[in-house]
Amino acid sequence: MIQGHISISSSSDHDNLRQLLKRREFGRFSDSGFKGSSGLNDVLQELAAPALSYKVKRIEFIEAGIVHLEEGICFKSPILAKVLEHCDTLILFIATIGSALEEEAARLNEDNRLTRAYILDRLGSLTAEHVVNAFHENMKHRYAQKGYGVTLRFSPGYCDWPVTEQRKLMRLVDAETIGVTMKASCLMHPRKSVSGVFGLFPQAVNGKKPVYNPCGHCGKKDCNARRHCVA
């Protein structure tokens, strides 16, 4: 079992986040008062505090749509089980950008500065996703050197994996160290937080086969979480 925490400094992470600021949706709002991408970048550096906590656990076996981990822990989801069918290791993570940005967006809403509030809220969501994507890519490159590939990432609430299984994930990953807690509804606080898992499989087992993507077998074309790199 391996566990760790990552605090992402503004000098490294926010440089990478510049790509987010080039998105067309942020250029549409000339009345927002952010003064273009430089203004948005200043806001990110001031308000976003990206951090991530993760744990690496061994997969004991997968059977009847249930993923069994070491220490008797299990996740029930036939689709997740299919995603992980060739894996022997699971990486569990929780990431956040803190609460300051969403608090500022709420304050702007109360002041009826709705455009600026919307941009901040949207940027916060994209930034949290960016932190997780960067972590996923980092682990992909790290484990490739050890002969492993990585699956797509999967979060509680995706497909047939119940959001209530968030409780198990929260117990396994040291979320409070990075300031993340869970409400009775299984939603996380701060709201701009992302949790999930992805598997590690020996490249020799999967060979050149593409990583399994459940979206390729799903008819829900308007799903916000749909992956377009369908395998």
Tens of pLDDT along the chain (231 residues)? 445 555 444 333 444 455 555 666 665 554 455 655 566 778 888 898 999 999 999 999 999 999 999 989 999 999 999 999 999 999 999 999 999 999 999 999 999 988 888 888 888 888 899 899 999 999 999 999 999 999 999 999 988 999 999 999 998 998 988 999 999 999 999 999 999 999 999 987 666 666 777 766 665 666 655 555 433
Upstream peptide bond of 190 is cis (omega within 30 degrees of 0): yes
Contacts of 97 (CB under 8 A, 6+ apart): 48, 49, 50, 51, 124, 127, 128, 131, 190, 192, 193
Domain at 2-55+89-203, CATH class: alpha beta
Domain ranges of the chain: 2-55+89-203
Q: How far apart are CA 30 and CA 68, in angstroms?
A: 52
Euclidean distance between CA atoms 20 and 37, whole angstroms: 9
